Structures are given as structure tokens and as C-alpha cells.
Amino acid sequence: MPIELNTVVEDTKENDMDIDFTSCFNKCHNPLDWSEDIVPAEPNYFTAPFNRSRENIFIINNKDTFFTNAQRSRMVYEVLLRTKYEPARDKIGIDKLVSNGAYTAHFPLHDGKFTSEHSILTNGAANDRHLLYETWARPGVWYKHQPLDLIRNYFGEKVGIYFAWLGFYTGMLIPASLVGLAVFIYGIATLWENIPSEDICDKSGAGNITMCPLCDKRCYYWKLSTSCLYSRATYLFDNPSTVFFAAFMALWATVFLEFWKRKQAEIEYDWDVADYEFEEHVRPEFEAKVTRTKVNPVTKIEEPYLPFYSKGCRRFTSLLVICFMICLVLAALLGVIVYRIVIVAVFYAQPYRYIQENAKLATTATAACINLIIIMLLNKIYYQVALALTNLERPRTDTEFENSFTIKMFCFQFVNFYATIFYIAFFKGSFYEYPGSDWNYIHLAEEKYMIIQCDPAGCLIELCIQLAIVMVGKQAFNNFKEIMIPKIKNWCSARGAKKAEKQEDNIYTRWERDHDLTASPPMGLFEEYLEMVIQYGFVTIFVAAFPLAPLFALINNIIEIRLDAFKFVCEWRRPPAMKAQDIGIWFGILQGITFIAVITNAFIIAYTSDFIPKMVYRFSPNDGHQDLTGYMRWTLSKFDVNDFENSSRPDPNHDSARSPEFNNTIVTECSYRDFRNPPGIDPKYEHTLTYWYIFAARLAFVIVFEHAIFLLTWVIGYMIPDIPADVHLMMLRENYLAKEAIYTTEKDK
């Protein structure tokens, strides 16, 4: 527990011309900051871990406030965790007493009420909790910087770092969402100038092309103009600016991570948690369960210890189980896909017209329900499995425990959330060949079922809709849940107590009040991080398909910060204060997501969007075009309806055949989106040269895009030092003073 040692405030202040401008700027009052009257600034000390036998060397102004609120609660907690309540070897700690029912709960008390009759501006804060509420958890202060030092002193470093990160991330989302919005507005502004979608909407031009049916037998031919709305909507997200935006977001993610590293270094230094992991205590569970001991070679103190082979076996087992669980999720996804393919055919085969007409809708609805149920079920199971596996691994410290649990949960949640989206982006529709091809069918129980294609406007619009629903829906639902559930719970439990107070003249005590609050979940921050990191995935991985994602994320996060703050300050029992050096393994996960994002964006632009075919159409060296006139026709291939098998050919008596569009004309040839030979040319329906040309262009784009982005990423990472210059200087100075101290000691011996 590092504590002030020797004041070195102002010690390393630069007497340098270069930074004069900055310091000048800093002196101006920033409306986003709190004035020093309300939130006092923390002085900067040279620090060292506290040791009672050396009490005299520390600066102690007031023994009651020398340790912060959080430090005191942490010390009590540590003592309670290690106290034996019975002589037996494993009868240790308050947690066991709670679990066997001797106590109902244990928690540090809050500082008092978070409301006060007097305004904070006139009377000052009644207590730390009140101060936190007024400066942090109130919705009215949504635009202000968070008082991070206060949070740290009240809740501990771990909660402090979470909010520091969340605030930083939200701030970084502002430029991203502005650019995203600009891209979207560009899409709207140029919508009517987009020749391909205007072509499609023109019923007398390309819109009049007869397209091949989208399903087997029961679907009829259709006119391209039907796809008008979808094609316009697609353009909003699939225009040249999207490519720019994908590149921008890849770089944004790199800059975000690099600057967070700096911010984190600053926090590490300010909060003296830089070498936290070295001095972290062994978990009580580890001490209780591991019988073998060994002298710790650093401190020369005997410590429990898990041999290497045992650790290896435990980790390997846990890896196998995780792989199995992930396969289970993928199998479930596959199951749902097959279910859709089969059930849509079954619905169509029903004799009732009503069912036939709504076959697609019914399929989608039931499939979504099944999917949701499976995901939720697996989620519940997996949470327990991950907990059990992490315990099996016997992590030595709390940090190790959390990291191990986090990586397990993240892998699972990642697959769980993104599998469907990846499927839509890269696989849906790719297996579809030309109409009537045998490859379009899967064979199940001697029946054949046609696989599902994307809408003729491309898979991108489906991807976009899916993303919007999942992301916005999930966030809205989560926020609603986070607001309402604790409110209801607290209201229920407090009502009883208040009634009792009124009736029996009892005083409603602090500990009763706090006990009536919702218990803070054991891994409360874990859920918050997970939610944010999954959101970061939406913001970066699929940003090419949904440029508004950063904006939605920004709005959500502004609400989220205050909601979380309110939860911590007002609705939860105060959690035991914990220490943490950084955001832990989440940083590695964010790096991984950023990496995946570059690759995914490259492939979405090259493969899912229409960017490359359009480029080829316009700028092909042999036959380029001035604009995209005729592009729509160019992307279609012809199919001779006589090549349909009888079981697949559309019913000529279909209702649609009598519609004004077709007017009972006999269709001999239909079109579909692909680059294949027309019926007359051998080899029939094989991919044309243009197809392979575009394919090569797509791959070349991936190579160029990735290399360019990774090169730029590397340059950015190289140019931005990991530790801000002033913090680095302070560290060097601390190091220098420590060395000087060694001499003095040795000399005096």
C-alpha cells in the first residue's frame, strides 16, 4: 500500500520555455473541469509502501485521514479475509462465514447519505458520497470530466481505472462519431446522384430486367425495380467514403490504444500502482487449497506454490473445455441455419395459403427465437463453466484470477455475439451458384433444400440491419435494465424497512440502509468491461458496414458513465475497495480486436461491398467507363429457364404471373447477379474472365489496404511514446533518488 514518503511536489516542474504556452492554457478555466473549490486537487508525493515500524518517515498530518477511505476499507477487508474463525485449516475468512449462513452479508459502509438539504456550492459536501453524487453521478453533470481522484479514494483504484478508461474511450469516440456522421450525410447527399440505384429504380430501364426467382418453384420471376428501396438504402452505407472511413477507423483504433497507454502510464504513476503486481498478495483460496510450499526467491518468505506440471495440466484441460464450448456455439449457429433452410421449404409446402405467404417471416421469427434461447442457455451454462475452470486453474493472485476468467468469458461472448454477423458478412450467399445449379441445395433425409441467398441488393444491407438491431437494441435494453432493476429491488427492500421505522420508532440505521441496497456483484466491473469491449468490437470490426456505430456508441456511453456512477454511488452497497495496476487483460483484448478489425474491414470492402466491381467497371485499363451508367446491367448474367429442373422451375400459374408487371408473358430468360457465361457460350454458366479479374482486384485491394494500414499503424505506434514525457521524467527522478538512498544506507552500516 504505497503512501506518501517525502514530498517532492513541484520537484520536476520544467523551467522550460517550450511548455510555457501549455501551462498558460491550463490556467484558463475549462468548463468541463470542476473548480478546485469543489474538487480539491491531489498533491503529488514521492511514495513508498507504508510500514508501521517506519511510521516516522511518512508525512502524517492527521492520523484519521492519512489512509484514504478506500485504503481503510481495503485493509479491514484483507484482515477479515484472512482471519480464522475456527482452528481447522480451511476455516478462514468472512466469505466462508457468509456462505455457510453465519452472516447474511459483509460490505463496507457508505459515507452517509448521497443527498443533502444544503447546496454543495454554499455549504460544501456533507460527505464523500454526497460529493461524488453531486460531481459525478448526477445526470445533470453529463458533460463534465469525472473526478477520478475522488472515485479512487472512495472506491479504490480498480473502479477508478475502469471509469478513467470509460471516460477516455467516450472522449475518443467523439471524433470517430463525427466522421461517421459525415460519411452517412455524404451518403444521403449523393443518394440521388448514384447511377446504379437510379438505374434499378427506373422501371423503363434496367428496372425492367426480369430476375430469376429467389427460391425454389414457389417463387416467381421478379423485376429488378422491386429492389429499388433496398438498393438506395445500401448506397447509404456502401459508397466511396466508406473505404476512407474504414481506413480512418483502423487508424483511430491504433491512436486510441496508443494514447490510452500514455494515459494509463500517467495514472499508474499518479496512483502509485506501477509495481502493484509484484506486491500483490496471494489469494486466500490459493493459500487454503495449495498444500505445497516453497520459499519465494524474491522476499525469502515461505509461500504456497503450484508445481509447473500441475499448472500445465490444469490449463490444458481448461483450454479443451473452452474449445468444446465454442464449437458448441458454432454448431448451434449451423443448426439454426439448417433449420431455416429446411423450415422455409416445409412452410411453403403447406396447403394453407396464409402460411405460404408468411413463410419467410415465420421462419425468420422462429429461427431468431431459437437462436436467442440457445445463446442465452449457453451463456448461463458458460458463465458457470468459466468460473469452475478458473477455480480449477488455481490462480495465485486476484489479478491472475480475473485475467483467466476474463479471457474465457470474452472468447465465448465474442463468438456468441459476432458469429451470426460474420456469417452474414462473409458466408451467407457465397455458396449460392447460378440458378438451377445442384450446388444450391443441401441434402437432408433424402430431400433437397435450397440454401438461402442474400437480398439481390447484396449482403451488406442485411449486415447493416443486423448490426443496427443488435448494437442499438442491446444497448437500449441494457441501459433500461441497469436503470430499472436496482430501482425496483431497492424500493422493495427499503419499503419494508421504512414501514418498520415509522411504526416502531426504530432508527433506520446506516448499516440497515446499506444492507437494503443491492449487493454489488462479485465481479461487478467484469460485466461493465465486457459490455464496453463488445461495443468496441461493433465500433471497429464492422464499421465499414455501419458507419453510425461510433455515434450510437458515444450516445450510449455518455448515458452509461452516469448510470454506472449512479449505480456505484447510490444503488449498490459499497464494494470492497480493490487495487489494480491497469485495465488488465482487456488491453490485450482491445489490441486483438483492433487487429481483427483491420482485416475484417479490408475483406468487407473488398468482398461484401460493391466497391471493387464499381472501381473495375470505371477504371479497368482495357474498357473503363466514364461513369457508372450501365453498371447494373454489367453485373447481371443471363439464365435460360429451360435449364431449370422440373422440380425447381417456377409455377407458370403463379399469382405474380398475372400481375401488371408480367401480364402473363412467358419468361424464357432471367437474370441473376454474378459474372457467368450466358446460356449460348461454352462452358455453360462458368465464371467469366471479368469474374476472375474482379476477384483478383478484390484480393489485391485486401493486400494493399492491410499493408498500408499496418504500416501506418506501426508508424503511429512508433511516433507516440508509451509514457508521456513528464511522467517519464518523474519516474527517472524517483529512480535517481532511490539510488542515492541506497548509498546512504550502505554507508551508514
Q: Can you tell me which of 686, 715, 721, 722 binds a second copy, judged by CB under 8 A?
A: 686
Contact between 10 and a second copy per CB under 8 A: no
Site string for a second copy, 457-496 (x = CB under 8 A): ----------------------------------------
Contact between 33 and a second copy per CB under 8 A: no
Determine how many CB atoms are found less than 10 A away from the CB of residue 656: 15
426 CB-contact burial (10 Å; exposed 0-12 / middle 13-18 / buried 19+): middle
Contact between 700 and a second copy per CB under 8 A: yes
Instruction: Tell me if 550 sits within 8 A of 183, measured CB to CB.
Output: no
Map grid coordinates 463488445 to a residue.
534
Nearest to 541 by CA among 468, 585, 595, 586: 595
> Interacting stretch for a second copy, rule CB under 8 A, among 4-12, 212-220, 232-240, 245-253?
4-12
Q: Where are the beta strands (DSSP E) in 415-569?
A: 441-444, 447-450
CB of 681 to a second copy, least distance (A): 12
Where helices occur in 350-440 by DSSP H, the ranges are 353-357, 359-393, 398-422
Binding to a second copy in span 628-667, by CB under 8 A = none
Contact between 250 and a second copy per CB under 8 A: no
- What 3-state DSSP class applies to 153? helix
Q: Can you tell me which of 361, 492, 519, 741 binds a second copy, judged by CB under 8 A?
A: 741
Contact between 430 and a second copy per CB under 8 A: no
Cis peptide before 683 (omega within 30 of 0): yes
Contact between 742 and a second copy per CB under 8 A: yes
Closer residue to a second copy (CB): 275 or 357: 275
CB of 720 to a second copy, least distance (A): 16
Contact between 7 and a second copy per CB under 8 A: no
Q: Can you tell me which of 72, 342, 687, 716 binds a second copy, judged by CB under 8 A?
A: 687
Q: Can you tell me which of 10, 18, 64, 438 binds a second copy, judged by CB under 8 A?
A: 18
Cα(47)–Cα(526) distance, integer angstroms: 30
Q: Can you tell me which of 10, 15, 352, 445 binds a second copy, judged by CB under 8 A?
A: 15
Contact between 281 and a second copy per CB under 8 A: no
> Interacting stretch for a second copy, rule CB under 8 A, among 173-181, 325-333, 637-645, 695-703?
695-703
Q: How far is CA 556 from the centre of its chain?
A: 12
> Interacting stretch for a second copy, rule CB under 8 A, among 43-51, 136-144, 265-273, 574-582?
43-51
Q: Can you tell me which of 31, 101, 140, 297 binds a second copy, judged by CB under 8 A?
A: 297
CB of 699 to a second copy, least distance (A): 4
Contact between 699 and a second copy per CB under 8 A: yes
Contact between 696 and a second copy per CB under 8 A: yes
Instruction: Tell me if 182 sits within 8 A of 597, measured CB to CB.
Output: no
Where helices occur in 568-688 by DSSP H, the ranges are 585-603, 611-619, 631-634
Contact between 739 and a second copy per CB under 8 A: yes
Q: Can you tell me which of 33, 469, 692, 721 binds a second copy, judged by CB under 8 A?
A: 692
> Interacting stretch for a second copy, rule CB under 8 A, among 193-201, 484-492, 498-506, 740-748?
740-748
CB of 297 to a second copy, least distance (A): 5
For residue 192, give every residue at least 6 positions away whose Cβ sits within 8 Å of its Cβ, in sequence order, or none: 198
Contact between 378 and a second copy per CB under 8 A: no
Size of the site for a second copy (CB under 8 A): 55
> Interacting stretch for a second copy, rule CB under 8 A, among 45-53, 136-144, 459-467, 630-638?
45-53
Site string for a second copy, 60-89 (x = CB under 8 A): ------------------------------
What cell was used for 658? 398475372
> Interacting stretch for a second copy, rule CB under 8 A, among 103-111, 323-331, 389-397, 683-691?
683-691
Q: Can you tell me which of 294, 481, 502, 510 binds a second copy, judged by CB under 8 A?
A: 294
Map grid coordinates 403463379 to a residue.
654
Residue 283 one-letter amino acid: R
DSSP conformation letters of 671-720: EEES-B--TTSSSTTPBPHHHHHHHHHHHHHHHHHHHHHHHHHHHHHHHS
Give CB contacts under 8 A, 24+ apart, made by 275-279: 276/579, 276/580, 276/581, 277/397, 277/399, 277/581, 279/49
Q: Can you tell me which of 328, 688, 712, 720 binds a second copy, judged by CB under 8 A?
A: 688
For residue 595, give every residue at least 6 positions away whose Cβ sits within 8 Å of its Cβ, in sequence order, or none: none
Integer CA distances (angstroms), 582 to 160, 367, 399, 403, 530, in order: 10, 41, 10, 12, 15
Nearest to 614 by CA among 231, 189, 245: 231
Closer residue to a second copy (CB): 508 or 736: 736
CB of 611 to a second copy, least distance (A): 17
Cα(160)–Cα(152) distance, integer angstroms: 5
Q: Can you tell me which of 86, 270, 299, 665 binds a second copy, judged by CB under 8 A?
A: 299
Q: How far is CA 138 from the centre of its chain?
A: 25
Contact between 312 and a second copy per CB under 8 A: no
Residue 97 one-letter amino acid: L
Residue 49's DSSP bridge partners are 2
What cell was used for 183? 460519411
Integer CA distances (angstroms), 108 to 155, 520, 573, in order: 10, 11, 8
Contact between 301 and a second copy per CB under 8 A: no
> Interacting stretch for a second copy, rule CB under 8 A, among 12-20, 26-34, 130-138, 447-455?
12-20
> Interacting stretch for a second copy, rule CB under 8 A, among 290-298, 372-380, 451-459, 537-545?
290-298
Cα(592)–Cα(173) distance, integer angstroms: 19
Cα(525)–Cα(289) distance, integer angstroms: 26
CB of 613 to a second copy, least distance (A): 14
Binding to a second copy in span 556-615, by CB under 8 A = 599
Closer residue to a second copy (CB): 420 or 600: 600
What cell was used for 136? 459525478
Contact between 736 and a second copy per CB under 8 A: yes
Cα(252)–Cα(581) distance, integer angstroms: 25
593 CB-contact burial (10 Å; exposed 0-12 / middle 13-18 / buried 19+): buried
Q: How many residues does the chain have?
A: 749
Give Dmax (Cα) for the chain.
Answer: 108
Closer residue to a second copy (CB): 307 or 473: 307
Q: Can you tell me which of 143, 308, 352, 354 binds a second copy, judged by CB under 8 A?
A: 308
Closer residue to a second copy (CB): 319 or 519: 319
Integer CA distances (angstroms), 705 to 132, 176, 254, in order: 47, 20, 15
Contact between 104 and a second copy per CB under 8 A: no
Integer CA distances (angstroms), 687 to 224, 226, 682, in order: 22, 26, 11
Closer residue to a second copy (CB): 259 or 693: 693
Contact between 703 and a second copy per CB under 8 A: yes
> Interacting stretch for a second copy, rule CB under 8 A, among 217-225, 230-238, 478-486, 733-741?
733-741
Cα(22)–Cα(14) distance, integer angstroms: 12
CB of 531 to a second copy, least distance (A): 26
Contact between 738 and a second copy per CB under 8 A: yes
Contact residues for a second copy, defined by CB under 8 A: 5-6, 12, 14-18, 48-49, 51, 54, 56-57, 275, 278, 294-295, 297-299, 307-308, 599, 622, 683, 686-689, 692-693, 695-696, 699-700, 702-703, 707, 729, 732-733, 735-736, 738-739, 741-749
